[in-house]
């Protein structure tokens, strides 16, 4: 027994097998094990509490649900028995997974049975960030949180409370809480993600189309840094692989030789930040050679004549000087793209993290329009969704205060539903335009995900209250005043998920086992807080009622998913062009020339703005992902299965560059700029341009209670300055320069 408990707590993981054994020993034994745990240097983990048992435990059950190890949300099929999750695989009827899961999805048991989970509410005792906590009852923690929030509201007004969340299925309910509270300051993490791409889509196509690319039917695919094979987009990975297998040509532009590059027919190590120049030169050739789809452009686009006048100077010869790619290669690719049908270019996610990012995405969208490949097989397409119902809230209080991130005055086109979170720390520190004193962070890790960690800590220190609602003791939770433990996705219902696509479907996240320890559903947390804040009337229903209200337009309720893997709209997945479609732009057409951009004082055509040049002796720092990890969420980094595969990041540095600097493969080197300094293992490689260095994003966690992730690798965000693309708002993260040097 003691051996078991020791293994459990001192080891790096709790396997499902160990958990099963432990629960079989019963509460007394489990608590008995705790006496052995004094050496376990945590402040979060003290004891285990037996789960309640409303969900049948003794029979083997299969539950169709939705994954949440990463934000892509694949459909899953979970087998449980004895109150324990046994196996997890993809739901074959759900189109995100098609029955197959990535490494992250397969690692689910290390999420639910992660010994690092926050097990009960905690209230800070010592200095902020010093790691002193006292265990609190839920009543105590909620009273404390609501009491502090009310104090802040009374002193500074409701606008002094800000909320941050990673976009998820509970977002509408947190937003309800925000609106009932009467604060405009609601943020998602899109400011360091795809926000500019969203704006580019909205202003060009009239709708955001995400990853809606019909790879499978494409014969020629261009990816501008969209490292598909190392993204969470499971179905895109499958479709791109299938397209390559079927013989589609893949042209991939990226300063780094990623996995996707390794599968491409042509890898172009373009000069960072110059993708738009390449795209404009392609357009120049296509227009000069008359290879565009005239009928499509006349019928469905606005501004082609203006583009013709605008594009003349952007010759392949000009682009060669800017991008470093030979003009003949650009010319050849342009002709291939325009003459191979169907050809498609991915408008990217956060293309390169430059101030001109919106225009880069617009340029690629326009390139697709030039060959007329929109809403056709093998092209980009408009997503079809499903309209769900709602429980109508009582009238919200009027919000008169402006947002602290400058939307809409300074950033007229950025959607307030996401905001620009990277600008929040400065607003807090400078109390500009007013003090923000309370911050509720839900399923997000801003201390790690926002740029410039040191600045974020400074901002946190100015808060009167920082609340973290989370599963793991993230870096942000480590600095919080109160941590409210949410249960994991395998332990809860959530509002239904619409799977927009060619033929929309709806899936439901359903609990497989009871919430472990004292963790609670976030709906219950929001509701309890709302009641204490005097806004309980906005939450006078249960989550079941809300799910059923959402599903009611489909003529089903949540029990439908007890014996159905998925709800299907039955809409034909066929792509039939744009005839009869309403395009939601001011002109009702795809806007090559954007009337909205023009009206807001921006360039209506995608003019190329050169990226900043690296100062002497410095290198551009690029960042990106690997297929086993995601973002700043510790769920993959502090996960035994995934940590075993990739536990720390390395600095990719070109062999020639490393030679000049005297750096050898595998040694730890210093990375430094005006914001930060840190050590990281060097990966000396042929797979990157000599003028740039690269590190994987998401490493360098600072919460000591993330036992596996703590202190491993370096956080790229430490070196990145907060800023915003004036049109779409994204933080220009790749405009980051660092010095690299050896010890001493």
Partner 1 sequence: MYKFLFDIDRCINCRACEVACKQQNDVEMGVRWRRVSEIEGGKYPNPSREFLSLACFHCARPPCITACPVKAIYKRADGIVINDESRCIGCGYCSWACPFGAPTLGSDGLMQKCIACYPRIDKGLDPACVHTCLTGALAFDTPAEIAKIQGERATEKVVISP
Q: Which stretch binds partner 1 (CB under 8 A): 98-106, 304-312, 446-454, 538-546?
A: 98-106
Smallest gap from residue 709 Cβ to partner 1 (A): 15
For partner 1, the closer of residues 692 and 730 by Cβ is 692
**CB neighbours of residue 1 within 10 Å:** 13
For partner 1, the closer of residues 171 and 687 by Cβ is 687
Smallest gap from residue 251 Cβ to partner 1 (A): 13
343 to each of 52, 219, 381, 689, how far by Cα in Å?
55, 6, 13, 27
- Residue 606, judged by CB atoms within 10 A of its CB (0-12, 13-18, 19+), counts as buried
Per-residue binder mask for partner 1 (CB under 8 A), 241-270, x = binder: xx--xxx-x-------x-x--xx---x-x-
Closest CA to 185 of 193, 195, 177, 173: 177
Percent helix, strand and coil across the chain, each to the nearest 5: 35, 15, 50
What is the pairing mode between strands 133-135 and 249-253?
unpaired
Of the candidates 172, 394, 645, 666, which one interacts with partner 1 according to CB under 8 A?
A: 645
For partner 1, the closer of residues 137 and 665 by Cβ is 665
Q: Which stretch binds partner 1 (CB under 8 A): 272-280, 354-362, 648-656, 695-703?
A: 648-656
**Residue ranges in 666-685 that form contacts with partner 1 under rule CB under 8 A:** 685
**Residue ranges in 105-164 that form contacts with partner 1 under rule CB under 8 A:** 105-109
Q: DSSP character for 384?
A: B
Asked whether the bond before 408 is cis by omega within 30 degrees of 0, the reply is yes
The Cα 460–Cα 463 span in angstroms is 5
HSE (side-chain half, CA atoms, 13 Å) at 637: 32
Of the candidates 2, 60, 544, 656, which one interacts with partner 1 according to CB under 8 A?
A: 656
Asked if residue 87 binds partner 1 (CB under 8 A), the reply is yes
The Cα 498–Cα 385 span in angstroms is 7
Smallest gap from residue 105 Cβ to partner 1 (A): 8
Smallest gap from residue 655 Cβ to partner 1 (A): 7
Asked if residue 237 binds partner 1 (CB under 8 A), the reply is yes
Q: Which two tokens stand for residue 277?
A: 């120049």
Of the candidates 185, 654, 673, 676, which one interacts with partner 1 according to CB under 8 A?
A: 654
Give the CA angle between residues 114, 120, 126 to the nearest 5°: 105
Of the candidates 128, 219, 625, 712, which one interacts with partner 1 according to CB under 8 A?
A: 219
**Residue ranges in 420-459 that form contacts with partner 1 under rule CB under 8 A:** none
Of the candidates 192, 234, 474, 673, which one interacts with partner 1 according to CB under 8 A?
A: 234
Of the candidates 129, 385, 690, 704, which one interacts with partner 1 according to CB under 8 A?
A: 690
Q: Which stretch binds partner 1 (CB under 8 A): 6-14, 372-380, 396-404, 477-485?
A: 6-14
Q: Which stretch binds partner 1 (CB under 8 A): 349-357, 528-536, 654-662, 670-678?
A: 654-662
**CB neighbours of residue 298 within 10 Å:** 10
Smallest gap from residue 558 Cβ to partner 1 (A): 27
Per-residue binder mask for partner 1 (CB under 8 A), 326-355, x = binder: --------------x---------------
Asked if residue 17 binds partner 1 (CB under 8 A), the reply is yes
Asked if residue 24 binds partner 1 (CB under 8 A), the reply is no
Tell me the longest C-alpha to C-alpha distance in the chain.
Answer: 80
131 to each of 481, 555, 698, how far by Cα in Å?
10, 50, 22
First to last CA, the chain: 50
- Using CB under 8 A as the binding criterion, the count of chain residues that bind partner 1 stands at 56
**Residue ranges in 490-549 that form contacts with partner 1 under rule CB under 8 A:** none
Smallest gap from residue 37 Cβ to partner 1 (A): 19
Asked if residue 10 binds partner 1 (CB under 8 A), the reply is no
The Cα 194–Cα 216 span in angstroms is 24
User: Are the C-beta atoms of 439 and 164 separated by less than 8 Å?
Assistant: yes
For partner 1, the closer of residues 232 and 511 by Cβ is 232
Smallest gap from residue 351 Cβ to partner 1 (A): 21
Of the candidates 64, 641, 699, 719, which one interacts with partner 1 according to CB under 8 A?
A: 641
Of the candidates 628, 651, 680, 695, which one interacts with partner 1 according to CB under 8 A?
A: 628
Task: Give kind and range of the element (H or E) at residue 688.
Answer: none
Q: Which residues are CB-contacts of 648 (< 8 A; sequence separation ≥ 6)?
A: 681, 699, 712, 713
Asked if residue 647 binds partner 1 (CB under 8 A), the reply is no
The Cα 729–Cα 422 span in angstroms is 10
The Cα 308–Cα 306 span in angstroms is 5
For partner 1, the closer of residues 104 and 509 by Cβ is 104
User: Are the C-beta atoms of 243 and 294 separated by less than 8 Å?
Assistant: no
Smallest gap from residue 296 Cβ to partner 1 (A): 23
- Residue 577, judged by CB atoms within 10 A of its CB (0-12, 13-18, 19+), counts as middle
* Angle of the 357-370 helix axis to the 275-288 helix axis, nearest 10: 30
For partner 1, the closer of residues 112 and 439 by Cβ is 112
The Cα 74–Cα 108 span in angstroms is 12
User: Are the C-beta atoms of 408 and 420 separated by less than 8 Å?
Assistant: no
Q: Which stretch binds partner 1 (CB under 8 A): 82-90, 135-143, 423-431, 483-491?
A: 82-90
Smallest gap from residue 104 Cβ to partner 1 (A): 8
Using DSSP's 3-state secondary structure scheme, residue 224 falls into strand
The Cα 631–Cα 506 span in angstroms is 26
Residues at the contact surface with partner 1, assessed by CB under 8 A: 11-13, 15-17, 87-90, 99-109, 219, 229-230, 234, 237-238, 241-242, 245-247, 249, 257, 259, 262-263, 267, 269, 340, 627-628, 640-642, 644-645, 654-656, 685-690
């Amino acid at each position: 027994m003691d051996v078991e408990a020791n293994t459990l707590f001192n080891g790096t993981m709790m396997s499902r097998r160990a958990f099963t054994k432990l629960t079989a020993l019963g509460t007394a034994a489990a608590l008995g094990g705790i006496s052995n745990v004094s050496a376990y240097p945590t402040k979060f983990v003290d004891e285990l509490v037996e789960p309640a048992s409303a969900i049948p435990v003794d029979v083997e059950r299969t539950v169709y649900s939705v994954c949440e190890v990463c934000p892509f949300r694949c459909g899953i099929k979970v087998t449980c028995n004895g109150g324990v999750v046994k196996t997890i695989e993809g739901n074959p009827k759900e189109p995100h997974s098609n029955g197959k899961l990535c490494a992250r999805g397969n690692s689910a048991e290390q999420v639910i049975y992660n010994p690092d989970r926050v097990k009960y509410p905690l209230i800070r005792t010592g200095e902020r960030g010093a790691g002193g906590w006292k265990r609190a009852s839920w009543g105590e923690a909620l009273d404390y949180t609501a009491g502090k929030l009310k104090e802040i509201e009374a002193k500074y007004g409701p606008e002094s409370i800000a909320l941050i969340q990673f976009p998820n299925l509970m977002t509408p309910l947190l937003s309800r809480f925000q609106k009932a509270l009467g604060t405009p300051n609601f943020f998602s993490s899109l400011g360091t993600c795809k926000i500019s791409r969203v704006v580019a889509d909205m202003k060009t196509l009239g709708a955001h189309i995400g990853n809606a690319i019909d790879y499978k039917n494409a014969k020629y695919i261009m990816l501008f840094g969209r490292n598909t094979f190392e993204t969470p987009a499971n179905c895109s990975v499958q479709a791109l692989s299938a397209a390559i297998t079927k013989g589609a040509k893949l042209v991939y532009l990226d300063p780094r030789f990623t996995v996707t590059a390794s599968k491409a027919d042509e890898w172009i190590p373009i000069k960072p930040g110059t993708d738009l120049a390449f795209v404009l030169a392609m357009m120049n050739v296509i227009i000069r050679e008359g290879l565009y789809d005239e009928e499509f452009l006349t019928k469905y686009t606005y501004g082609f004549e203006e583009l013709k006048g605008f594009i003349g100077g952007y010759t392949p010869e000009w682009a060669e000087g800017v991008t470093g790619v030979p003009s003949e290669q650009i010319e050849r690719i342009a002709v291939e793209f325009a003459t191979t049908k169907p050809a498609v270019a991915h408008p990217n996610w956060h293309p390169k993290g430059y101030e001109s990012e919106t225009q880069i995405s617009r340029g690629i969208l326009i390139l697709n329009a030039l060959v007329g490949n929109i809403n056709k097989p093998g092209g980009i397409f408009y997503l079809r969704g499903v309209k769900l119902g709602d429980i109508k809230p009582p009238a919200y209080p009027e919000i008169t205060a402006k947002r602290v991130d400058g939307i809409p005055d300074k950033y007229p086109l950025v959607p307030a539903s996401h905001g620009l979170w990277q600008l929040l720390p400065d607003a807090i520190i400078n109390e500009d335009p007013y003090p923000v004193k309370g911050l509720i962070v839900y399923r997000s890790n801003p201390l790690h995900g926002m740029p410039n960690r040191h600045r974020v800590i400074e901002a946190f220190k100015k808060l009167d209250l920082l609340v973290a609602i989370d599963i793991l003791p993230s870096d942000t939770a480590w600095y919080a005043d109160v941590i409210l433990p949410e249960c994991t996705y395998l332990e809860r219902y959530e509002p239904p998920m619409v799977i927009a696509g060619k033929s929309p479907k709806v899936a439901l996240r359903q609990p497989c086992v009871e919430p472990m320890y004292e963790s609670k559903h976030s709906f219950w947390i929001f509701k309890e807080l709302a009641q204490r804040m005097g806004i309980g009337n906005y939450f006078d229903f249960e989550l079941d009622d809300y799910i059923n209200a959402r599903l009611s337009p489909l003529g089903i309720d949540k029990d439908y998913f007890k014996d159905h893997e998925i709800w299907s709209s039955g809409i034909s997945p066929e792509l039939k062009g744009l005839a009869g479609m309403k395009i939601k732009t001011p002109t009702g057409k795809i806007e090559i020339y954007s009337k909205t951009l023009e009206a807001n004082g921006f360039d209506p055509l995608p003019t190329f703005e050169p990226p900043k040049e690296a100062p002497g002796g410095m290198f551009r720092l690029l960042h990106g992902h690997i297929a086993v990890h995601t973002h700043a969420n510790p769920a993959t980094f502090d996960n035994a299965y995934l940590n075993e595969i990739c536990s720390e990041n390395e600095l990719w540095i070109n062999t020639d560059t490393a030679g000049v600097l005297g750096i050898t493969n595998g040694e730890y080197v210093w990375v430094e700029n005006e914001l930060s300094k840190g050590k990281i293992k060097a990966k000396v490689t042929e797979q990157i341009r000599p003028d740039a260095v690269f590190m994987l994003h998401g490493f360098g966690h600072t919460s000591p209670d993330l036992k596996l992730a703590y202190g491993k690798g370096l956080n790229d965000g430490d070196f990145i300055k907060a800023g915003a693309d004036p049109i779409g708002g994204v933080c220009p993260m790749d405009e980051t320069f660092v010095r690299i040097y050896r010890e001493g």
